[in-house]
Amino acid sequence: MENARLRQSVVGATEVIEELEEPPMPPLVEDNIVIPPYIVSDFVRLGRQLDREHLVRATMGSLAMIHPEQPGVMISTRHMVTLPRMNERSLCAAPLGSTSPRGAPTDWHVLEVVLASVSMVTGGPAAVIHMHGPHTTAASCEKDLVLLTPIDEIGKQHIGKIIIVDPDPEHPEDYLRQVAEALNQGGMRCVVIRGNGAYAVGADFDQAWANAAMVEHSMQIHLLARQANLKT
């Protein structure tokens, strides 16, 4: 009887945690674009998880995806939204190739180019996480470092190589082209922006999250190995 009560308590606690972690969300309707509740919930869930893993912090970072029910539409988090505390008002959407919507993040067009590149490979679905992992950001600040090959086995198998692109606000078109090329050269896993984190991609948020975590892990191993002066 005691074991049964304990099991029931655990089940009840699990249900409460799930309700807190994944609260029901209303849909968002913006400019005749409908974002269903399950998509809103995916953004909310991922924002909290990425914050716990220190891949994003507060308002640092952004999430975006191709609308699964409207392939010509892009959904993104709004500019400077607090990612661990999102709701349906934290999102914006617009057709691909159109003017960025009201409240769009400053890197809307980067997200758009990255998603379009992934969509061409997958045949439709695409998701991206602009993460600001501290090890990724720190490693990318090394002057003249353009190509980084992971030294850990997980990084070798799942990431391959990491291309670092310099920001170029004076030539936005060239910058977007370099981002797309670097993503392709990196095996459609990620592209790192010097001093500004990385865009990790996938067919959905779970794949993009996995790639973001692997990149951050490999960058941490890289920095630790350099600090210890290991021969690699």
Rounded CA gap, 128 and 209, in Å?
A: 8
Q: What's residue 144's pLDDT?
A: 86
What are the pLDDT digits (tens) for 30-63?
778 899 999 999 999 999 999 999 999 999 999 9
Strand locations in 28-89 (E): 28-30, 33-35, 62-66, 73-77
For the chain, what percent of residues have pLDDT higher than 90? Answer: 75
Rounded CA gap, 213 and 133, in Å?
A: 9
Report which of residues 23 and 206 the model is more confident about.
206
Contact between 92 and 15 under an 8 Å Cβ cutoff? The reply is no
- Written as one letter, the residue type at 103 is G
Rounded CA gap, 35 and 163, in Å?
A: 33
The number of beta carbons lying within 10 Å of the beta carbon of residue 227 is 8
Rounded CA gap, 64 and 119, in Å?
A: 13
Nearest to 129 by CA among 70, 67, 215: 215
Nearest to 56 by CA among 46, 69, 68: 46
Kindly give the interhelix angle for 37-52 and 205-227, rounded to the nearest 10 degrees: 10
Average pLDDT over residues 10-20: 53
Report which of residues 25 and 175 the model is more confident about.
175
Residue 26 CA: distances (Å) to CA of 37, 38, 67: 5, 9, 16
Q: What's residue 228's pLDDT?
A: 87
For the chain, what percent of residues have pLDDT higher than 70? Answer: 90
- Written as one letter, the residue type at 153 is E
Report which of residues 20 and 122 the model is more confident about.
122
CATH of 22-227, one of 3.40.50.1100, 3.40.50.300, 3.40.225.10, 3.20.20.70: 3.40.225.10
Rounded CA gap, 39 and 26, in Å?
A: 10
Residues 177, 171, 127, 116: is their CA dihedral positive or negative? negative
- Written as one letter, the residue type at 212 is A
